[in-house]
């Protein structure tokens, strides 16, 4: 059975694993105060061209979203997100558990629209009763989005400007950030994110690590962020496990190499689908492909390959997702195409 289920089905890229082995016997300070964490942070700051950025390592995505958002919001504020945003749909209410409302706006292929955002904020403050409502306190977006789509630099700049105008932090969830940065037609760099966002994270779990997300605050983290992380149960005793992995991921551009491989595999597969006349639910350039399958074709394919159910389109068609990753083999891609 060949697998295109998601990008977190295998362990870690071999170079990441090797680094864990090599450093395994070294006694190192806990909680992230070790030289691998330090070195990984330094490499990330370099990759971001942002020497003053504050970098922290957390274990997983929902944890990171909950911790970062709670660290930035005042109690009476909520976080604005697209209705399709991960924090709104698939995090078991982690944001609300931390006391904050997710204020949703309609999405366009997973994306927040800058002018819709602006109109919402204008409307909020124009409402004479807004003191009785949850204040929009920050903006959450993901890049790539849940639909594998990308913001352009122009769009992100527009959103960032709205945030600045309302003095609200902009947070970008980069669970799959690598796959965005190396995609065709992408025009955003890590340095751009540092310039336009107040905080974002570089996802490790879905880009070749066993686990781990690198949170980047370009202008510095909230006061006592480490204590906040601990309070959320998110501070790893063996912080080295995260530091060593990100040290490997950001050595010789491995993070981008992994991403390019996955996107190249996805591009090949996309081409295969296109050639065979399949239609796409959303046009993507990243490592996720959303295809409309006739139900019988879906059943047939599911006997040879694993992929993700997305949604029912109509009585005869289903949207499914194929995802590639660091471990995707070209032979598997070709095998799948040959079966289409």
Stretch 64-123 residues interacting with a copy of itself (CB under 8 A): 64-67, 70-71, 74-76, 78, 89-94, 96-97, 99-102
Indicate the residue among 236 and 248 with the shorter CB distance to a copy of itself: 236
Residue choice 119, 191, 226, 304 for contact with a copy of itself (CB under 8 A): 226
> Using an 8 Å Cβ cutoff, are 216 and 195 in contact?
no
Nearest-angstrom CA–CA distance, 4 and 289: 10
Minimum Å distance from CB 233 to a copy of itself?
3
From the list 160-168, 206-214, 271-279, 281-289, the region that binds a copy of itself by CB under 8 A is 206-214
- Binding flag, residue 3, a copy of itself (CB under 8 A): yes
40: nearest Cα among 307, 189, 244: 244
β-bridge partners, 241: none
Nearest-angstrom CA–CA distance, 198 and 217: 6
DSSP string for residues in 92-137: TTHHHHTT--EEEE--BTTBPPHHHHHHHHHHHHHSTTGGGSPEEE
Nearest-angstrom CA–CA distance, 59 and 207: 13
Indicate the residue among 153 and 308 with the shorter CB distance to a copy of itself: 308
* H/E element, 274: helix 254-275
Chain positions 250 to 279 lying near a copy of itself, rule: CB under 8 A, are none
Nearest-angstrom CA–CA distance, 240 and 327: 24
Chain positions 16 to 55 lying near a copy of itself, rule: CB under 8 A, are 17, 20-21, 23-31
126 contacts: CB under 8 Å, gap ≥ 6? none
Indicate the residue among 134 and 192 with the shorter CB distance to a copy of itself: 134
Token pair 């955002």 in the structure block, residue:
117
Chain positions 282 to 321 lying near a copy of itself, rule: CB under 8 A, are 306, 309
Minimum Å distance from CB 287 to a copy of itself?
15
Indicate the residue among 240 and 270 with the shorter CB distance to a copy of itself: 240
Residue choice 35, 54, 62, 195 for contact with a copy of itself (CB under 8 A): 62
Indicate the residue among 9 and 271 with the shorter CB distance to a copy of itself: 9
Residue choice 41, 45, 176, 206 for contact with a copy of itself (CB under 8 A): 206
Minimum Å distance from CB 267 to a copy of itself?
21
What does the block give as tokens for 134? 């949850």
């Amino acid at each position: 059975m060949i697998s295109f289920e998601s990008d977190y089905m295998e362990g870690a890229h071999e170079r990441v694993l090797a680094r864990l082995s090599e450093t395994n016997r070294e006694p190192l300070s806990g909680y992230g105060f070790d030289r691998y964490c330090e070195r990984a942070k330094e490499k990330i700051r370099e990759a971001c061209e942002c020497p003053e950025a504050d970098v922290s390592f957390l274990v997983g995505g929902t944890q990171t979203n909950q911790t970062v958002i709670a660290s930035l919001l005042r109690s009476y504020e909520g976080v604005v997100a697209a209705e399709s945003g991960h924090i709104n749909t698939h995090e078991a209410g982690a944001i609300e558990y931390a006391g904050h409302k997710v204020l949703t706006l309609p999405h366009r292929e997973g994306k927040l629209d800058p002018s819709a955002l602006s109109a919402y904020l204008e409307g909020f403050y124009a409402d004479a009763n807004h003191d009785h409502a949850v204040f929009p306190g920050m903006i959450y977006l993901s890049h790539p989005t849940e639909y594998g789509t990308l913001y352009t630099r122009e769009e992100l700049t527009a959103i960032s400007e709205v945030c600045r105008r309302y003095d609200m932090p902009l947070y970008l969830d980069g669970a799959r950030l690598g796959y965005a940065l190396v995609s065709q037609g992408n025009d955003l760099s890590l340095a751009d994110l540092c310039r336009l966002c107040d905080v974002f994270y570089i996802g490790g779990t879905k880009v070749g690590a066993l686990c781990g997300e690198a949170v980047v605050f370009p202008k510095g983290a909230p006061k006592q962020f480490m204590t906040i992380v601990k309070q959320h149960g998110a501070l790893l005793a063996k912080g080295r496990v995260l530091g060593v992995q990100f040290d490997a991921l950001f050595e010789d551009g491995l993070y981008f190499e992994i991403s390019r491989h996955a996107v190249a595999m996805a591009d090949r597969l996309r081409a295969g689908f296109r050639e065979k006349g399949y239609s796409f639910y959303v046009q993507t350039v990243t490592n996720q492909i959303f295809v409309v399958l006739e139900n019988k074709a879906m059943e047939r394919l599911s006997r040879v390959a694993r992929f993700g159910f997305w949604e029912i389109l109509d009585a005869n068609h289903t949207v499914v997702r194929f995802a590639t990753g660091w471990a995707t083999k070209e032979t598997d891609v070709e095998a799948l195409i040959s079966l289409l």
